[in-house]
Amino acid sequence: MISRNYALAFGTIALCMSSFLTTVVRAETLVFEATTDFPVIDAGEVPYYSEAPGRPSLAIDAAIESNRNQFAKASMTYEGASGYFDITLVTLAELDGEAPYRVLIDDVLVGSAINPEVIVDYTSVRNIFENIVIPQGATISVESLANTNGKIPEGDGTAFARGRWTSLELDSSDAGTIAEDETDLAVDVSIDASRLVVGESSTLVVNIDNGSDSAVATQPLVTLTRPHTQLDIETGPLESCTESGDEIVCHLSEIPAGGSHQMFLVLTALEASSSVPLQVTVTADQTDSYIADNSVTLPLQIDARSDAEGTSTDTIENGGNGLTPDTTMNATESESRSGGGVSVGLLGLLLIATFGLKRRYQWS
């Protein structure tokens, strides 16, 4: 009877401990549902729509052609305690395209992923980004893009994946345990011309510094994001880069503590636009101690090429008359520079002579 009571007691204790441990683990993982916990779903280039209650996902209406190959963005405000988290973005992989996804904290890119090819539509995929610092009050955003792999016929073209995703999870159980491995990466860019002309190119210089005193930045990634139909980017031979839609991801060699890396890129303007944002973001394997300088957005403008461009130029060189050897002038310009100039000169001489005679007459 005594042994039975002990067994019951230990069984009750074990059950309570199991329940307690389960509660603790669950408390460390916060789950935010796409359709209910992200109140802003139209913050991107195109809007999301909710597929609830049929499917608990946000998606892009790719039936509208203008929504294709552009990023939608959903945002929420994180009201929990500041800390390090492993972020898991749960996406739905589709048969008709491999959609790219991005996670941002206060508009700074902290993780990106591309859905794999699948043989079952709406396969759930868990994309994990480790040791991400999220301060209290931060804006957490998820972006995705509707694209096609050209494999599923639909109408006159092919079907598009709709960039679907269902939830975002924050797990603090294993995150932020190695503070000494923190890097301090910063990115800075310069360009020889922020106003481009269609068909012309410009050089973009990207400087990446590791301000840490001890941590080496391993497997650093530079992500370039721009409207790919408006701006082409040619990367250099020292980086291994892949392109998907508007995004180019470049893998760099490790950056030592206190070291730096420089990239030279060639930008070619493809389509006129008054606003062409180019975002450059750097990340590495290690947690970054200060993420505010990990990303920079360069506002560009692309002008249409004028058909008359270059037919009449008047530049000042070597202190001369402003004409280069290959400068061409039309008939009107020639007259104004020759005959018109002589007429003005003769008139001036006549006025001077008349004034002189008048003065002479008055004195006499």
Q: Which pLDDT does position 349 carry in this prediction?
A: 46
Cβ neighbours, 10 Å, residue 217: 27
Give the pLDDT band (50/70/90) at residue 176: low
Whole-number mean pLDDT of the chain? 80
Give 358 or 93, the one with higher predicted confidence: 93
Element holding 9 (H helix, E strand): helix 2-28
DSSP code at position 344:
H
179 CB burial (10 A radius; 0-12, 13-18, 19+) = exposed
Q: Give the number of C-alpha atoms closer than 13 A to the C-alpha of residue 175, restricted to the C-beta side.
A: 22
Quickly tell me which residue has 């893998």 as its tokens. 251
Give the pLDDT band (50/70/90) at residue 192: confident
Domain 179-303 has CATH 2.60.40.1510: yes
Kindly state the average pLDDT of the residues 208-214: 92
Give 78 or 359, the one with higher predicted confidence: 78
Give 99 or 318, the one with higher predicted confidence: 99
Give the pLDDT band (50/70/90) at residue 181: confident
Structural domain boundaries in the chain = 18-171, 179-303
Q: Which pLDDT does position 312 carry in this prediction?
A: 36
pLDDT above 70 coverage of the chain, percent: 75
Give the pLDDT band (50/70/90) at residue 4: very low
Which tokens go with 284?
């590495």
Q: Which pLDDT does position 233 carry in this prediction?
A: 93
Cβ neighbours, 10 Å, residue 104: 20
Range with lowest mean pLDDT among 7-11, 135-139, 157-161, 305-309: 7-11
Q: Is the dihedral of CA 72, 77, 82, 85 positive or negative?
A: negative
Which tokens go with 187?
């990115």
Per DSSP, what are the bridge partners of residue 161?
Answer: 147
Q: Give the number of C-alpha atoms closer than 13 A to the C-alpha of residue 345, restricted to the C-beta side.
A: 7
Which tokens go with 83?
């800390």
Amino acid at residue number 251: H
Give the pLDDT band (50/70/90) at residue 359: very low
Per DSSP, what are the bridge partners of residue 201?
Answer: 268
Interior/surface letters 306-340, b for 16+ CB within 10 angstroms, e for the rest = eeeeeeeeeeeeeeeeeeeeeeeeeeeeeeeeeee
Q: Which pLDDT does position 238 carry in this prediction?
A: 73
Would you say the CATH fold of 179-303 matches that of 18-171?
A: no
First-last CA distance in the chain: 151
pLDDT in tens, 221-244: 999 999 999 999 998 877 789 998
Structural domain 18-171, CATH architecture: Sandwich (2.60)
Give 216 or 5, the one with higher predicted confidence: 216
From CA 212, how far away is CA 181, in angstroms rounded?
9
